[in-house]
């Protein structure tokens, strides 16, 4: 079974940094895409950062406007892991951050981690 395990969340003050890690296990194939989503209770889950590509395609990254320039996603395709460096954190960044991974073949499959809590105080 494929499992994703997030870590690195915590409580920080505005302006500080955190680095989230997502380590996968159990996959027989290299993920075609990995990324991060976040959710605050009562709100829609939001895409934070995403990385698409494989060894046969150029890797591209996407960020939501609110984090662009502050967050950086990085990925290790060999290890099927993904990381999120979060700098200059704001209270609005507070939420549960979820790791995701996708495989496109033989059919599209999406996996999710349990989530890690990030709380930013003012």
Pairing mode, if any, of strands 18-25 and 3-7? antiparallel
Query: How far apart, in whole angstroms, are the C-alpha atoms of residue 31 and residue 19?
Result: 21
pLDDT tens string 37-69? 999 877 889 999 999 986 656 789 999 999 999
Residue 12: predicted pLDDT: 98
Please check the confidence at residue 76 and state whether its pLDDT lies above 90: no
- Count other Cβ atoms within 10 Å, centred on residue 60: 10
114 or 54, which is more confident: 114
In this prediction, residue 72 has a pLDDT band, given cuts at 50, 70 and 90, of very high
CA 93 to chain centre: 13
Percent of the chain with pLDDT over 70: 97
């Amino acid at each position: 079974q494929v499992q994703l395990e997030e870590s690195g969340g915590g409580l920080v003050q505005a302006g500080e940094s955190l680095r989230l890690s997502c380590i996968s296990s159990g996959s027989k194939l290299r993920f075609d895409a990995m990324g991060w989503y976040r959710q605050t209770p009562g709100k829609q889950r939001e895409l934070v950062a995403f990385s698409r590509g494989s060894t046969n395609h150029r890797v591209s990254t996407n960020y939501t406007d609110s984090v662009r320039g502050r967050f950086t996603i990085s990925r290790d395709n060999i290890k099927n892991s993904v990381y999120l460096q979060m700098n200059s954190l704001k209270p609005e960044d507070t939420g549960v951050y979820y790791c995701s991974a996708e495989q496109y073949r033989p059919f599209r499959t999406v996996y999710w981690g349990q989530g890690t809590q990030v709380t930013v105080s003012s």
